Amino acid sequence: MTVARPVIVVNFKTYVEASGPRALELAKLCEQVAKETGSSIVVAPPTPDIALVASSVDIPVFAQHVDDVASGGTTGHVTVENVKASGAKGTLLNHSERRIKIAEIHELIVRSRAAGLGTIVCTNNLGVSKACASMEPDFVAIEPPELIGGDISVTSANPKIVGDTVLAIRAIGKGVGVLCGAGVKNGTDVAKAVELGTEGVLLASGVVKAKDRRAVLLDLASGLRR
C-alpha cells in the first residue's frame, strides 16, 4: 500500500465522538477536505468501525493496531487478516497507548507487507526510531509520550528530536518516511514538521475534539503547502 506524501494521519483513537456513525461522519469530512485541497489524508477509526468506514470513503483507512497472532482460535484479538478483510489499507503499530515488543513489531511489519498493508510504526526516542526504520515500515512516527494530547507541539517543544530522527532514518535509507506527532494542532505545526524534514504528521485530539473539525482540517492541510 502506497500512501501519498506528505500526509496527515488522523487517529480517531476510541473517542466516543469518533465512533460508530460519528466515525463515518468524521472520515467523510476528512475525505471531503482531502479532495478539496488535494491533500493526502489517512484515517484510523476504532477497530469495530473499520469495515463501515473503509466501504464508504476513498481515502486510505488504517487500523489502530494489530496483534501478533494467527487468525482462527484467537478470540478477542485483531489480526492482520481481520483488518485486511475489513478493507483497511494499513495499520499503526506500537502507539504509545499500545506498546508492543520489538520482535512483534518486526513480525507484524513482515506480515502486513505480505498482505499488502502499509505500516506506520510509532516510536518515542531516537534509538527505537532507528531500530524500527531498519525493519522497513512505510513510516516511522516520532511521538514523545509526554507531549501526546497536550497543547504544545513536538515541533515547538522538541524540534531537535524530530530533526535528528529525520537525519538518522535518511542515513539508514530504504525509503522509510518520517512523521511526527504529539501536540500537533494546526497548520503552523504541520508546516514546521515538513520544514524539519518529515513527510507529514500523526494526530488525534486536535481533530477529534475540535469544535469546528472542518476548519481545523483545512488549516492542517494548508500546512502541507506552505
What CATH number does the domain containing 43 carry? 3.20.20.70
In a domain, 2, yes or no: no
In a domain, 1, yes or no: no
Residue of 148, 216, 146, 164 lying closest to 188 (CA atoms): 216
Which of 17, 65, 97, 143 is catalytic? The answer is 143
The verdict on whether 143 is a catalytic residue reads yes
Count up the domains in the chain and report the number: 1
Residue 146 pLDDT: 60
* Range of the structural domain that residue 207 is part of: 7-223
The verdict on whether 146 is a catalytic residue reads no
In a domain, 166, yes or no: yes
Residues 6+ away with beta carbon under 8 Å from 51:
86, 87
**Cα gap 69→51, rounded to integer Å:** 20
pTM of the entire predicted model: 0.94
Which of 95, 97, 104, 146 is catalytic? The answer is 95
pLDDT in tens, the chain (226 residues): 679 999 999 999 999 999 999 999 999 999 999 999 999 999 999 999 999 999 999 999 999 999 999 999 999 999 999 999 999 999 999 999 999 999 999 999 999 999 999 999 999 989 999 999 999 999 999 887 665 555 656 666 567 888 888 999 999 977 999 999 877 889 999 998 899 899 999 999 999 999 999 999 999 999 998 7
